Amino acid sequence: MTVTDLECGIAYELSGVSRTYSLGGHEVRAVRELDLVVDAGEPVVVVGPSGSGKTTLLQLLGGLDRPTAGSVRFEGRDLAQMRDRELSGLRLQTFGFVFQQFNLIPTLTAAQNVEVALAPRGVSHRRDAAIRLLDSVGLASRADHVPGRLSGGEQQRVAIARALANEPHVLLADEPTGNLDSETGAEIIDLLLGLTGDGKRTVVVVTHDAGIAARARRVIRMQDGRVLDGSADAQAVGTGSRTGGSG
């Protein structure tokens, strides 16, 4: 490209991406010849059944895994070509991760769990910063409660606040509603998709729950390692497909 991806407003550009694993002597093709573009500041839901390749895709987007073939370009840089140390630094400074398991430290309060994530950045007045982050996810009033005194939805909100501690360019969430009831899960999805910061942060949420897709402007549907459909939701009139693939 003669113009950088950032100037074009592109967060991710995947070209011919495949990821193959060896499992028990068998070859497993988790992702197959996938082409995909995600705009900067775009909220996206990736949906598909178990084994469709959606979690592998998220790991590739987050630099947690490398493709067997193809390129994964993030803000103009090919993650597949970066050294491990470069990838570690990128994850620390640029990506935020939210998982199905909340992974909170049970003996620390909500605020203290967030402060732990702020410490590596050398943030002063970490308590105040943690409260601000909790407030951004609607949980400032529960700052001094330990995880055991919080509901599942509240614990996930703490985990999201923690993921925002490094002011990430991208927030990647893998099955973030898996341990929640449907009503609470819908609230968490709405929260995550609303964290783009007026287009300043890209948010990618992976889920097996097709019902969640109705809450997203753009949905990427996967099956057997391929993208079936990546067009915008019908409510987003005038936007078209930004994906391709072999299937």
pLDDT 10s digits, 125-178: 899 999 999 999 999 999 999 999 999 999 999 999 999 999 999 999 999 999
- The CA distance from 133 to 117, in Å, is 11
pLDDT at 230: 62
Cα torsion 106, 109, 113, 114 to 10°: value is 160
Q: Report pLDDT digits (tens) over 186-221.
A: 999 999 999 997 788 999 999 988 777 778 889 999
Has this prediction a pTM greater than 0.95? Answer: no
Q: Show me where the domains of the chain are located.
A: 40-66+81-244
CB 27 within 8 A of CB 20: yes
Under CATH, to which class is 40-66+81-244 assigned? alpha beta
- Rounded Cα gap, residues 42 and 198, in angstroms: 9
Give pLDDT, residue 240.
37
**Matching residue, tokens 């943030």:** 123
Look up residue 122 and give its two tokens. Answer: 């050398």
